[in-house]
Amino acid sequence: MAALEMLAGCGGRGGTTPTTITKMSRLSTLLLSPPLAKTTAAPLSGTRGVRFRSTSSMQGYSEMARERSKTVTSFYHQSAIDVSAEKASVRLMPATLLYAGKSPDGQHILDETIIRSFLDTTLCSRLGIRMLATHHLSLHEENADFVGIICRRLSPKKIIEKWVDFARRLCEHQYGNSPRVRINGHVAARFPFIPLPLDYILPELLKNAMRATMESHLDTPFNVPDVVVTIANNDTDFVIRISDRGGGIPHNIKDKVMDYHFSTAEESTQDPRMSNIFNTMTNNGPQSGPMHGFGFGLPTSRAYAEYLGGSLSIQSMQGIGTDVYLRLRHIDGKGESFRV
């Protein structure tokens, strides 16, 4: 206001006049009012007036969106993770160490125990969340054979046959042939169970058995032994055994097959018989293909089986073949089961 009075005093030495007062009011309005924002006029439907929408709020939202984008990007940026891990308030738990990728002394984490524990927890958490979400959505669907994701009368034989057909087609695409699969045991067994985890575990085990069988008989690809799947059902649990005659697991890698990211895919592609036969295949990369991947199938299957209150064990006879035992508890409420 002092500045206004000084400006007003310049209008004349004889005091304020009506003209001076008018000038002062106009000047104060210009100086004290907030800056006008750019506006966009949009006609109001049903009225003669015009609605003005300020673009300043839109610019504000854009700024917020950019800041959020920076925050999300920095969360996945390694340098930002390293800076956060160095803060005193951050506890260097196994999860924090793995997110950072380094131990407190700055070395890369090579402890298989920490890695396995972290990945087991992460993957099983993912499975549990998916099961809960799918169960909630399925409860609103009408299906006489299901209550949510729980099949009232699941047939192990039928679900095995479904994934045998899937693995057989992959095997024929990869090797030109596939071993025959025989199913025996309690083939008529039916009981309540959740097919979702079986839909992951069974194709992994069947692919491994078929691949081992074919790659151990490359000289006679059209004369290979059968893969035998045996079903055993009792009041407490049920067991699915998958037996192959694929030469067994070598002694030097037997203890590694359950480790994450351990794969024999590269060893298979180095076999000259493989490279000669399959040069024309679409999946000719050295690291992954339809019958093998990056070494996550078997350890993830083990983690899922243990999460469901069961187990996945391997018995190998070097020079003969391998038996894989998948044991899972019933969920009929008669005994202890698992909790999601």
What is d(CA 303, CA 123) in angstroms, rounded to the nearest whole number? 8
At residue 299, the pLDDT reads 93
Q: Provide the b/e sequence for 148-175 (b: ≥16 CB within 10 Å).
A: bbbbeebbbbebbeebbeebbebbebbb
Q: What is the largest distance, in Å, between two alpha-carbon atoms of the chain?
A: 120
Angstrom distance (rounded) from CA 264 to CA 297: 12
pLDDT at residue number 233: 97
Question: What separation, in Å, do the N-terminal and C-terminal C-alpha atoms of the chain show?
Answer: 70
Asked if residues 298 and 204 have their Cβ atoms less than 8 Å apart, the reply is yes
279, HSE (Cβ side, Cα atoms, 13 Å): 4
Which pLDDT score, from 0 to 100, does residue 340 have? 64
What's the confidence (pLDDT) of residue 114?
80
Quote the CA–CA distance of 78 and 162 in Å, as a whole number.
Answer: 43
Chain-centroid distance, C-alpha 206: 22
**pLDDT score, position 109:** 62
Closest-CA residue to 314 (of 238, 237, 256, 260): 256
- What pLDDT does 86 receive? 56
pLDDT for residue 287:
40
Distance of alpha carbon 113 from its chain centroid, rounded? 21
- pTM for this predicted structure: 0.65
Residue in this structure with the two tokens 């407190």, named with its chain if needed: 104
Low-confidence ranges of the chain (pLDDT < 70): 1-61, 64-65, 67-110, 266-293, 333, 335-340
Chain centroid to CA 101: how far? 19
Q: Can you tell me whether residue 134 is helix, strand or coil?
A: helix
